[in-house]
Amino acid sequence: MSLLIVVAVIGLLAKKQVGALPGAGIASGTSVNGSVPVVNPQQQSQQLQKHVKRSVEDAMKQARPEVEDK
């Protein structure tokens, strides 16, 4: 379970880094007119925590495959 959480956090951080690179297209968080909304670090941290929590909860809801012992 902890491995799943680590992979989710690393994936989110990698996605943020790729979006921050110049020439990577439209960065996440930009609006249609090109202005970037101001988000303080505390709000960003809370959003990330909520996203990871939802990801973990969704993973816990998935049915585990049944293993047949032979």
Residue 1's closest CA among 44, 66, 67, 52?
Answer: 52
CA distances from 56 to 5, 16, 49, 67 (A): 7, 19, 11, 23
Which pLDDT value is given to residue 56?
Answer: 86
- What tens digit of pLDDT does each residue of 13-51 get? 888 877 766 654 444 454 445 555 666 888 888 888 999
Looking at residue 22, what DSSP letter applies?
T
Please tell me the pTM assigned to this model: 0.39
Q: Which amino acid is at 16?
A: K
Cα distance between residue 55 and residue 53, in whole Å: 5
Q: What tokens appear for 25 in the block?
A: 């297209």
